[in-house]
Structure 1
Amino acid sequence: MNDDSTEKRMAGDYEIIQAVHIGDREVVLGENPQDDTGMKYMCAFCRQNALFAEYSEVMASDDFPEIVELFGQRVAEQAQKTHIELNKPRIQGIDDRPITAEGCIPISHEDDLHGKIIVIKPEVLRREYRRATRQLKLCMGGFGASPHSRGSACYCVDLYTGKESRYERMDVLGTIQPENLPGWAKHGLTAIQQEQAKKKTTKERER
C-alpha cells in the first residue's frame, strides 16, 4: 500500500527532492518530470518563513549530473561562508560551548519571561548554531512569555547578533541572571538596552 499522506514540497512545478539548510540559506534540488522544455531539474537558494518561501539564483537543466554538481558546489560554498561567519575575529577566545541545563535556571508554567535572558535548547537550533552565542536571547514578549498562557510564541533579540527571532516556550531550556552572563553577552545586553532606550525616547519626543 502506498503512503500518500506525506505532502510533497513544491517550488512551482518542481518537487524538491534534496535540500540542505546551512547558515542563512537553504540549497534545494528540484525535479519536474513533466517538463519538456529542457529544464527538468533545477537548483536554487531558498529562504522561507511561516508564510512563504523565496527562491533565488534558480538554475535549470535537463542534465541531472550537471545540476547535482551545482547543488554540491553551492552547499560547499554556503558551508564555507557560514564557517567564516561563525569564526569571525570577535568570537575568537570566547567559550562557545553549548549551554546545558546545569548552566541555567529551569522554568515552570509559573514563570514570566518578559525581559528575562532565556537559553534556547541546543537541539532546537540547526547543527551549525548549537553554541552559546546562538542560545542566549533577551525575551521581549509574546503570549508564550506570560505564565499559564494559551499562546506559546516568545519574541526575542539575540545577545550576540542583535537580530530578532521567534521561538516557542517549549524551546526554552531555562533562564540566566544578567550578572552571570559571560562578558560578550553582557556587552550585547547593554547594547540592546541602550537601543531600546533610544527608541523609547524618540517615540516620546514624537508625541
Structure 2
Amino acid sequence: MDNRTFAKDLYKFLKDNDSLGHFGDIPAEDGISELEEYLSDLDMVKETIKDIEEIADSFDDHDVYVTEVKPLLKGLRTVQEKLEAEQSKRMVADTGYEVKQSIQIGNQEILMAENLKAEDGNFYMKAEYTENGLIGEYSQVAVDSDYLEIMREFTKSLHGQIEKVASEIGKAAYQSEPITAKECHPNDYSQSIVGKVVAIKAEALRPEYRRGDRQLILVDGGNGANANARGNAVFCTHLNDGSRTRFERYDVQGEMKELPAWAAARLDAINAEREAARHPIPKSAPQETVAGYTITERVNVGKKTFVLGHNPKAVSPFVTWQQLEGRSGYDLGHYFSDRDRALADLHTRADSEREATSPVKARNPKNRDDAR
C-alpha cells in the first residue's frame, strides 16, 4: 500500500475518533496530506502509533480493535521499520555512496560503497577511512563502473593495511600470549592506580592487538585512575613501545601481580627516560623564543605540537601553546604563574589530542563486568 492510500485510512480512523477535534477543523485533503507527510518522518510515525494505541485503550469492542486498529498499527510499524532501516544506512559523507562492506585493521577502515544512481556510471567506490577523535577523514578514494575492479582495489588496500599493522606489531613484539585475570589483582575502584602497571582486558582491544605486550600499560593519571573516582578516563603509556593513549577504568583488568621480564625492563627504560627529561643536559645552541617566552618543552601529537614557554619577566611567567603542522606560529595560549601547573596543562592538552585516536582500542567494549 502506498503512503497516500494508507494516509487516507489513517485519516478516516483518526477523524472518527478525534476527541480534540483536530481533523474536524481542516479540509479532508489537507488532513490526508498532513498524515502523508508524517509517514516520511520517523518521530511522527512513532507519535501516531502512540496516539492510535491510546485511542484503542478506550475501546471495549475487541472485534473493532482487530478489524480497524490492528491493521493500522501493523502498517505504521512496517513504515517505522523501513524508516529506521533507511536512517541506519552508512553513507560516505555526502557523496551518495552507501557503504556495503567495511573492514577495520589497526587505525584504518577499508570501505567498499555503492551508488547505483551515479550519473557518471561509476557505481562503485573504494575508500580508506581514518577517525581521529570526532573527525573522520576519507582518503585513497577510487570509483569505477566495474564492481570487480573496485573489489581488487578494496582487497589491495586491505592487504596493505594488514602488512602495515603486522609490521607495527612486530617492532615491539615481546609477548603474544594474552594476560589473564589470574595474573592480576582485581580492579579495585577504592584504590588509586596512578603509577601502577595494569593490564587492559583483552576484549577491550581490537582483535589484532589482543596480545600481552599490548595489554600492559603504565598509568599516568586521569580522573578514572584515582581512588573512588567519579570519572573513567585513564591516561597511560604502553610498556611495549612507550606510546601514550587513553582507556576507561572499566577497561582495566587489574594491577599486575608480577611483571614479565620484558615488561620490567621496559618499565625501567621508561622511568629512566622520564627522569632524564626532568633534568635535561644544558644545550649550547640557543632555544626558540616566542613573544619573550623561551620554549623549554615540546610534545608532538599527530599534526600538532604542544609547547611550554617561560618568561621570568612576564606577569604570567609560563605558557602552553599549540602549533599546527605547516604553520610557523603558535596559538591558543594558556598562561600560568607556576611551572608545575603549566607542565600539567601541557601534558593534558597532548593527552586530550590523543584521546580516541589510538588504533589499539576496540570500539564499544561489551564486557564491563566490574563497571560501576
- TM-score, normalized by the shorter chain, greater than 0.5: yes
Q: The residue matched to 1:149 in structure 2 has which SS?
A: coil
Instruction: With the length of structure 1 as denominator, give the TM-score of the two structures.
Output: 0.85
Amino acid at match of 1:147: A
Q: How do 1:1-207 residues align onto structure 2 when only pairs under 5 Å count?
A: 1=78, 2=81, 4=84, 7-12=88-93, 13=95, 14-88=97-171, 91=173, 94-176=174-256, 180-201=258-279
Amino acid at match of 1:65: L
Q: Distance in 2 between matches of 1:31 and 1:189?
A: 48
Q: The residue matched to 2:279 in structure 1 has which SS?
A: helix
Identity, % of aligned positions: 38
Amino acid at match of 2:259: L
RMSD: 2.4
Q: Distance in 2 between matches of 1:192 and 1:84?
A: 22
Shift of residue 116, structure 1, vs aligned partner = 1.0
Shift of residue 95, structure 1, vs aligned partner = 4.2
Q: Give the 3 Å change call, closer, same or farther, for CA 143–19 of structure 1 in structure 2.
A: same
Q: Give the 3 Å change call, closer, same or farther, for CA 191–10 of structure 1 in structure 2.
A: farther
Q: Distance in 2 between matches of 1:169 and 1:84?
A: 29
| Larger-gyration structure (1/2) | 2
Q: Give the 3 Å change call, closer, same or farther, for CA 147–9 of structure 1 in structure 2.
A: farther
CA-to-aligned-CA distance 1:82-133 (integer Å, 9 cap, x gap): 3343345x63xx4420000001111122011111111010111111111101
Structure number having the greater helix percentage: 2
Q: Give the 3 Å change call, closer, same or farther, for CA 17–95 of structure 1 in structure 2.
A: same
Q: Distance in 1 between matches of 2:221 and 2:116?
A: 46
Q: Distance in 2 between matches of 1:87 and 1:145?
A: 30
Q: The residue matched to 2:101 in structure 1 has which SS?
A: strand
Residue segments in structure 2 that go unaligned for 5+ positions in a row:
1-77, 281-295, 298-308, 311-338, 340-372
Q: The residue matched to 2:122 in structure 1 has which SS?
A: coil
Residue segments in structure 1 that go unaligned for 5+ positions in a row:
none
Q: Distance in 2 between matches of 1:113 and 1:140?
A: 9
Q: The residue matched to 1:166 in structure 2 has which SS?
A: strand
Q: The residue matched to 1:114 in structure 2 has which SS?
A: coil
Q: Give the 3 Å change call, closer, same or farther, for CA 75–118 of structure 1 in structure 2.
A: same
Shift of residue 62, structure 1, vs aligned partner = 2.4
Q: Distance in 2 between matches of 1:7 and 1:193?
A: 47
Task: Work out which structure has the larger RCO, using CA pairs closer than 8 Å and 6 or more positions apart in sequence.
Answer: 1
Q: Distance in 2 between matches of 1:49 and 1:7?
A: 22
My pick for the range that moved more, 1-10 or 99-108, is 1-10
My pick for the range that moved more, 183-192 or 134-143, is 183-192
Q: Give the 3 Å change call, closer, same or farther, for CA 43–109 of structure 1 in structure 2.
A: same
Structure number having the greater strand percentage: 1
Q: The residue matched to 2:179 in structure 1 has which SS?
A: coil
Following TM superposition, where does structure 1 have runs of at least 4 consecutive aligned residues deviating by more than 6 angstroms? Answer: none
Q: Aligned pairs, how many? A: 202
Instruction: With the length of structure 2 as denominator, give the TM-score of the two structures.
Output: 0.50
- For the 8 Å contact 2:175–2:213, the answer to whether it is kept is no
Q: The residue matched to 1:30 in structure 2 has which SS?
A: strand
